[in-house]
Structure 1
Amino acid sequence: MASPLVSSAVEEFVLLGIIIADITLRIHLRARAVGWKRLTSDDYLMILVAPVYSALTASAHVVVVKCKGQANDNMTAKQRASLDPASKEYSIRTIASKFELIQRVLYFTTLWLTKASMLAFCRRLTERLSNYRSREHIGFAILGATWIADFLIAMLNCRPFHKNWQINPDPGAACYPATSPYSAYGTLSLNILTSLYIFLIPLPLVWMASLRLWKKMGLIMLVSANCFVIAISILRGYLISLDTISATRQASLWSVRVCFVAVMTTNLPLLFPFMRRLLVSLCGKPARPQPQMQATTRFGETVPTNENARLNSGCYTACCLDTWVFDSRFVSNGNACTTNARDDERHDGYCNCRNRMSV
């Protein structure tokens, strides 16, 4: 049976491999659909997530495996006084505390990048809807302000700064990078606030779509899957507070797990059409014929789209999931769905308006 250290190392790098594959697949599908030059800000933000998450995994590996989860917390006054500053344990605890501080910043940076990517994705969906623009601008302002607030909490909650890795005398709970209550509750509160705000942006868009209730609820769950990160973050805080003996190890492992869930749920709306068609092709289920309506490109060419691809209000359609998650910028034009895609643009089978698939 593998030791806990080996199991932790395997878990960290398996999750990292899945994340890299997930991001690579997303970017590949987007580039295949619209071309590399037409990737948008949500794609570039997700590309940026990859090195930040990799750095988070590396820092967690140092703390959990190399330093065996030992930092400047969970020590009695007697243990602190008797620990020789020249000893290996002293050095390990100091290094782990420094890496925990770095990991804390990487943790909320990864989360905030996924939120920014999701918000940019929502902006792409509602690009032609002016009443959504102010909400999205406010969202980006909130993300920027809360990231700065979280960074300041991490940097300033323990003063002087070197106490973050001080062993003796006891620097106090606020100076334990892994379990500092100010940082833990601050990050959790800001995480919940920003996730809920971003969740509320696409909600009216989906709710107004002319869809059956079960399909509408499915789309709501799809675009709001990122809220699952809130539950995992709360679980992380609870487990850290519960296990005071190995709190540093738990904090490191759960930071990686929370960010893993955040990245996967952020990419889910873009990968869902691909996965659905892959499952359909594997199961050999024939595509169901769909009622058609006419849509026009900016060059005046008529192309078929799904009859359900209209909103009751004549606005954007959440039903155009297969198209807008990869490319599109749909805006109502009477009863037609108008797209700004180039007439000669090459699409793959998943997002070509001319080869419209059902939602």
Structure 2
Amino acid sequence: MAPNTPSLVVILSMSAASVVVLILRLASRRLQRSKMDIGDWLAVLDILVWGCFLGVVPGVLIWGTNNLTAEVREALVPGSEEVANREMGSKFLLVHRVMYISVLWVAKGIVWSFYHDLITRAYNRVVLMWCYGVLLLTYIIPVVVTLTECKPFELYWTVTPNPGSCVRGLTQLWTVGTLNIGTDILLMGLLVPVLHQVQLPWYKKAGLCFLFCIGTFLIVVTAVRITMTVSQSHSQAVRTLWGTAEMLAATCVANAPALYASARKCVCSSRAKRQPPPADVERGGLPAISRPSRTWNGWSMAWSSKPSTWRESKALTWVTGTTITVEREVTVSRAMVEPVLDTGIHAKWIGTNGPGGETRTGAEVGAVMV
């Protein structure tokens, strides 16, 4: 049978675009010489899953499957080459459906890892780990449904006689769609404690909200895919086309924060290179210039008049009601502060024994540096 060339070209193009997005994420981390985090390793896993998907989807569309109308099935000659091709295409379809679920849930894992880097409070960490368990469970359920909808198992690739309605995969469609939308809403809800925890100007919080509220686009794509698949349940090309579009959207949304942060970081680095460094920075110390005071855990912090020194002060009230001001100076070894996520959330000290004597990352430093 002739392949569905237009649909195949579009599907392969969307798949290639998804892989490019993942490679760009990993390449940007490599160029910045940053350590691989959970999200980066999940991106590597996602590339492998996409590779499996690309390996089976041409066979599904070129050879066809056993999801046929009664008229087409009756016209087939048992033992013919077309029947053999459809049997092989149906086997590929089973792998295709598992890879489709895997791509969507790996993308959710990448979003979860982004929250994991932001959330530091113990209570919110518990909620985050609970959500991790939910994501794992909701991945296992649709995979099990996909592999158990037809009984016996051979019906998945039986062309003649009629294997029944299980080959249409409508139970799998509704199960995956419902859990997909539910977990998307769950991940969007995790944004609330993040915004409550970090200290950001309102406009930066609004930008972060917009960044993740585009996740609603995924819900729309999923709903459209379910509608189109149910209305054309015998067209595997339509189902695969919309499924690939959903996978592409999930990949782009999941990796958008990392790509945005890398782009911002490159812009900031290029601007910094065009500015001559102060004399004491060249000597390896902190610039002896005045900067606006910041606060961290009640400490008012600013650069001291001495190179390589923080000046900190904090008002303390005794039980008697007497208020005193405590001051201290902290020597720091280097003047570089590097944005980790240039969404204005937090920054990281590079090679310092900064305030408190340790290297810090997280939202608390963001309250100081943003």
User: TM (normalized to structure 1)?
Assistant: 0.73
Structure 1 residue aligned with 2:91, among 95, 98, 104? 98
Asked if the contact 2:38–2:110 (Cα under 8 Å) also holds between the matched residues in 1, the reply is yes
User: Alignment partner for residue 51 of structure 1, among 32, 35, 48?
Assistant: 48
2:360 to 335, 340, 348: 340
Q: Deviations over 1:63-101 (max 9, x none)?
A: 22x22xx3222321x543442222122122222222111
Q: Does 1:30 align with 2:29?
A: yes
CA offsets 1:146-179 (integer angstroms, 9 cap, x no match): 1111111011111111111222332222223xxx
Q: Where does 1:5-20 land on structure 2 (aligned, <5 Å)?
A: 5-20=4-19
Q: CA RMSD in A?
A: 3.7
Matched with 1:344 is none
Q: CA deviation digits over 1:128-158, x for unaligned, max 9?
A: 3212111111111111111111111011111
- Determine if the alignment matches structure 1 residue 40 to structure 2 residue 40: no
Is contact 2:110-2:255 (8 Å) kept? Answer: no
1:125 equivalent to 2:107? Answer no
Contact 2:118 2:194 in 1 (8 A): no
The answer to whether the Cα contact below 8 Å between 1:56 and 1:256 also exists between their aligned partners in 2 is: no
Counterpart in 2 of 1:206? 195
Contact 1:226 1:265 in 2 (8 A): yes
The one of 320, 326, 329 equivalent to 2:344 is 320
Looking at structure 2, the residues matched to 161 and 154 of structure 1 have their Cα atoms a distance apart, in angstroms, of 11
- Are 1:112 and 2:105 an aligned pair? yes
Q: Tell me the matched-pair count.
A: 308
Match of 2:239 among 238, 251, 260: 251
Q: Distance in 2 between matches of 1:130 and 1:160?
A: 48
Query: Residues of 2 paired with 1:280 and 1:52: CA distance?
Result: 34
Matched, 1:146 2:138: yes
The 1:292–1:238 alpha-carbon spacing in structure 2 relative to 1, beyond 3 Å, is: farther
**Corresponding residue SS for 1:107:** helix
CA contact (8 A) 1:12 1:57 kept: no
Whole-Å separation in 2 of the counterparts to 1:63 and 1:242? 20
**5+ unaligned residues in a row in structure 1: which ranges?**
310-316, 342-352
CA distance in 1, matches of 2:347, 2:20: 22
Percent sequence identity is 22
* Contact 2:200–2:344 (8 Å) recurs in 1: no
| Structure index of larger Rg | 2
Query: Contact between 1:72 and 1:97, CA under 8 Å: does it hold in 2?
Result: yes
Q: Which of structures 1 and 2 has the larger relative contact order (alpha carbons within 8 angstroms, sep 6+)?
A: 1
* 2:214 paired with 1:225: yes
For each residue in 1:186-224, what CA deviation from the matched residue of structure 2 results, as whole angstroms up to 9, or x when unmatched? 001111121211221132322555545444222112134
Unmatched runs of 5 consecutive residues or more in structure 2: 276-290, 295-300, 303-309, 311-329
CA contact (8 A) 1:16 1:54 kept: no
Conserved 8 A contact 1:41-1:117: yes
Q: Distance in 2 between matches of 1:172 and 1:163?
A: 8
Deviation of 1:259 after TM superposition, in Å, equals 0.9
Q: Which residue of 1 aligns with 2:260?
A: 272
